Amino acid sequence: MTTSVLRRMEAAATAMGTGLGRLLDRIARDRRDRKIDRLKAHLSWHPAERRGRGPRIRR
């Protein structure tokens, strides 16, 4: 194989890799946000939390 063909294949592979990585990252962030929302909903009954004092959930 010539170097140009290899280089083109490598470029395509890295482009695909970054696209896949971005997709996985987005899915992971989505999951994490949903998890945080569930935690917040679970802790919203806490009176101190409702008043704005006490345990605050931060990312």
Q: How many CB atoms lie under 10 A from the CB of residue 36?
A: 13
Check residue 58 and give its pLDDT. 56
Which ranges of 1-59 would DSSP assign to H, the alpha helix?
A: 3-43, 47-51
Rg of the chain in Å (alpha carbons): 22
Angle CA(45)–CA(47)–CA(39) in degrees, nearest 5? 40
pLDDT score for 59 = 53
Per-domain boundaries in the chain: 3-51
Smallest Cα–Cα separation from 8: which of 21, 36, 16, 34? 16
Taking only the tens place, the pLDDT of each residue in 14-55 is 777 777 778 878 888 888 888 878 777 776 655 555 555 555
Confidence at residue 46, expressed as pLDDT on a 0 to 100 scale: 56
Greater confidence (39 vs 56) lies with 39
The model carries a pTM of 0.39
